[in-house]
A and B are shown apart, each in its own frame.
Chain A
Amino acid sequence: MWSQNSDIELKISALGASACVDLFGAYGLDLELGKSSRMQSDERLLSGSIGFVGRRLRGSCLLAAGEKPLSLSCPEQNGALRDWVGELTNQFVGRLKTKLLSRGIEVFVTTPIVLAGVHIEPLPRSRMEPFVFQSSAGEIMAWIEVETEEAFVFGSEHPTGSGLEGDILVL
């Protein structure tokens, strides 16, 4: 049977928050965790969502931001932000996957879907709230919901021998 375990959700969300900070840092945008779990902005937001599934663990990730932080983090000037928020969500989940792998948890991901709107507001099933980060360009929200089977184990961190972001592995 699948259920939401708040202790596991907290641990995985913390990994996700760290992944989000690292991701935007890699594209030149520093994030700080804000006090609210709701975005205050009235501007149009772009959002990407990706599902993932592994042995005894499954869930979804969502990343949302206004156009300014997306434009500032985008490596191409005037790049299509619909495309970029999808790619950022993909890289966000990629980083989360790597962090999970180092704890012995392997997950596989879906392709991203992208949506736009004003006041995009997650409605969590559990008590785990989204993370809203502040940046010089505006707010960024990251939200992860997971459920697990009873036998799921969140292991301690150990080296896996797999690469990290920016690595080049010659085969």
Chain B
Amino acid sequence: MKKILIVDDSEIIRQQLGRALSEAGLSVVEASDGVDGLEKVAEHDDISLLVLDINMPRMNGLDMLEALKRNPKTASLPVLVLTTEAQNSMVARARQSGAKAWLIKPVKMDLFVNVVQRFAA
């Protein structure tokens, strides 16, 4: 079963996404910010894909994404950004760091699950 890490500071968003992914037969791990997310990546070496929010306390999503890409062990991990942000400069930064897609909240759950399944390694 593929394992997806959801990194979002909103518990409700994590629950909503996690439920949709679980119903689609995927395993889910949650983290509440970028620092927690990096710890979860280190704990679970079988994560297939990350779903990453941008505006979070302690460490934001773009900083976490760049930290993942600097580490050879995690550089190839597929990342989907799911955020309220739509600024071209942020999207460009995520693209440069290897993110696979940028999803703007709120996204329909069936579309979200399709995109996750498409990119999960």
Residues of A within 8 A of B (CB): 26-27, 74-76, 79-80, 83-84, 86-87, 90-91, 93-95, 97-98, 101, 106, 109, 111, 160-171
Contact = CB atoms under 8 A, between A and B. Distances in A.
9 contacts: A75-B16, A76-B16, A83-B11, A91-B84, A95-B84, A97-B85, A111-B56, A164-B104, A168-B107
Interface in B82-111: 83-89, 91, 94-95, 99-108, 111
B106 A26 contact: yes
A87 B91 contact: no
Interface residues of B, number: 33
B11 A80 contact: yes
Given A94-B84, A95-B84, A111-B56, A165 B104 contact: yes
B99 A171 contact: yes
A95 to B, nearest CB: 7
Interface in B7-25: 9-13, 15-16, 19
Contacts of B121: none
Contacts, number: 95
Contacts of A171: 91, 94-95, 99-102
B87 A162 contact: yes
A29 to B, nearest CB: 13
Given A106-B87, A111-B56, A76 B94 contact: no
B96 to A, nearest CB: 9
B42 interface: no
Contact of A86 (B10, B15, B83, B94): B10
Contacts of B56: 111
B68 to A, nearest CB: 15
Contacts of A161: 88
* 8 smallest beta-carbon distances between A and B, as pairs: A94-B84, A87-B10, A79-B12, A169-B102, A171-B95, A162-B86, A75-B16, A76-B15
B38 to A, nearest CB: 19
A84 B10 CA distance: 7
A164 B86 contact: yes
Given A94-B85, A94-B86, A98-B86, A168 B103 contact: yes
Given A80-B11, A84-B12, A98-B86, A111 B57 contact: yes
